[in-house]
Amino acid sequence: MSPEILQVGRLSPGGEAKIHAAFNVSLLADQHNQETFLKTDGHRFHGLITIAPLGASQALMSRLPNLKVIACRGIGLEKIDFNYTRTHGIAVSWTPDVLTDCVADIGMGLIIDTARGISASDRHVRAGLWPKGVFPLATKVSGKKLGILGLGKIGQAIGRRAAGFGMEIRYHNRNRLIGCPYAYEPSAESLAAWCDFLMVAVSGGAHTRHLVNRQVLTALGPKGFVFNVARGSVIDEAALIEALQSKTIAGAGLDVYENEPHVPKALQGLDNVVIAPHIGSGTHETRAAMEGLVLENLQSFFSTGKLVTPASKD
């Protein structure tokens, strides 16, 4: 018989159809009483499908005593309890690389939209304000100084795109990259002080929580913009709201938030911020590739005991 899989979080209809055709999958969201279901049926499941924003907590995994593998759609691993998976011999897969281009595209889109005021000007026109006066001047994008906080694969892809706009680029990582063509800044604060646009592309987790704090935003300055395509936890959201309201910084473009899917009302009321609903990987092509990897990992694990894209966390 096909291994039984528990699915937490929904996938695209096409991705779900292919995975459900290959395995016996139960959707946790479909259960009338999830706690009772996990208590009575949790032992049935040898695999778990999840998505990065939900992850896999110790509380969930402890109700799945026969769990052998987790297949996560996404690259955010901070909500998977790796102490528990290591202790209990549970393999974990993720979907790296296939979403790099789309997330980098959103990063550049946020830069252009926020600096040039595209969304704000759209609201201006729709509100019937154009006949009453011209839209305020915005900020040029080409030739600006871009600071990339986290020069991993996504950060590098953003750098390649930014180079096409004639931007000068510097970066900050925990460690300097050998052979990197960009200048290195020793801290997030010094990077913010140097750049016009600060792009956040680091991984989430405790080690980067509120890495972009009040001091970093102050260093960015009243003409500077911050953009986040990483995790909402990386930016101190209260400090960001304060900086936007007081014009300590010029603006922000955000695709992620501290308490998704809940976005603070204060952010929603500001015109110098673009707020997107975590759509970095949200294209038909990329989601198909990500969910294809979820399926490949499950098939490989249950047939060979090995994962195609194994994940680990330091």
- Indicate which residues carry an active-site annotation: 231, 260, 278
Taking CA 34 as the corner, what is the angle to CA 31 and CA 36, rounded to the nearest 5 degrees?
A: 110
Contact between 307 and 91 under an 8 Å Cβ cutoff? The reply is: yes
Find out whether 275 and 246 touch, Cβ atoms under 8 Å. no
Distance CA 298, CA 20 (A): 12
**Neighbour-count burial for 3-31, b at 16+ CB within 10 Å, e otherwise:** bbbbbbbebeeebbebbeeebebbebeee
- The answer for residues whose C-beta is within 8 angstroms of residue 19's C-beta and 6 or more apart is 5, 7, 11, 25, 49, 291, 294, 295, 298
